[in-house]
Amino acid sequence: MPQDIHTGIKALIDEANAEIETLSAAEAIQAAQDDGVVIVDIRDPREIERDGRIPGAFSCTRGMLEFWIDPASPYAKAIFQEDKKFIFHCAGGLRSALAAKTAQDMGLKPVAHVAGGFAAWRDAGGPVEKFEPKKSKG
């Protein structure tokens, strides 16, 4: 396919980063102390299980984001209707840039994302907890 017809992922990420607020890991760690902030983890459950998670983060896989944000969707989540600031993160900061732009385009605001994602958060000394799977009854 000719490149002018097909937009590459780099162009999509560059466009997203130009339109959304990007926080450093240190800024995100500070922002997470605020009750008016929701940290949204868009990583796959396997990544969370393997690497741990930010305490108190709301887990929303990237594939469900639009369905969970839209109040008219049968899958809408009440948390996205709250008057909060939503800070998205993934593993390395690429998917979260796209997710934050999508959320903003859908009218969710204010939104931001964490440059460098979970890895940057962890490396900056942000709190991390091991994922504890729910115990099955029986």
> pLDDT of 47-93, one tens digit each?
999 999 999 999 999 999 999 999 999 999 999 999 999 999 999 99
pLDDT at position 137, please? 63
What value does the mean pLDDT take over residues 6-32? Answer: 94
Band of the pLDDT at 1, cuts 50, 70, 90? very low
Asked whether the predicted pLDDT for residue 32 surpasses 80, the reply is: yes
Q: pLDDT tens digits, residue range 110-135?
A: 999 999 999 999 999 999 999 877 77
Band of the pLDDT at 25, cuts 50, 70, 90? very high
What value does the mean pLDDT take over residues 33-58? Answer: 97
pLDDT at position 134, please? 73
CB 41 within 8 Å of CB 54 = yes
Domains defined along the chain, listed by start? 21-123 (3.40.250.10)
Among candidates 55, 61, 108, 115, which has minimal Cα distance to 86?
Answer: 108
Among candidates 33, 36, 39, 82, which has minimal Cα distance to 57?
Answer: 39
Asked whether the predicted pLDDT for residue 5 surpasses 90, the reply is: no
From the number of C-beta atoms within 10 Å of its C-beta (0-12, 13-18, 19+), residue 123 rates as exposed
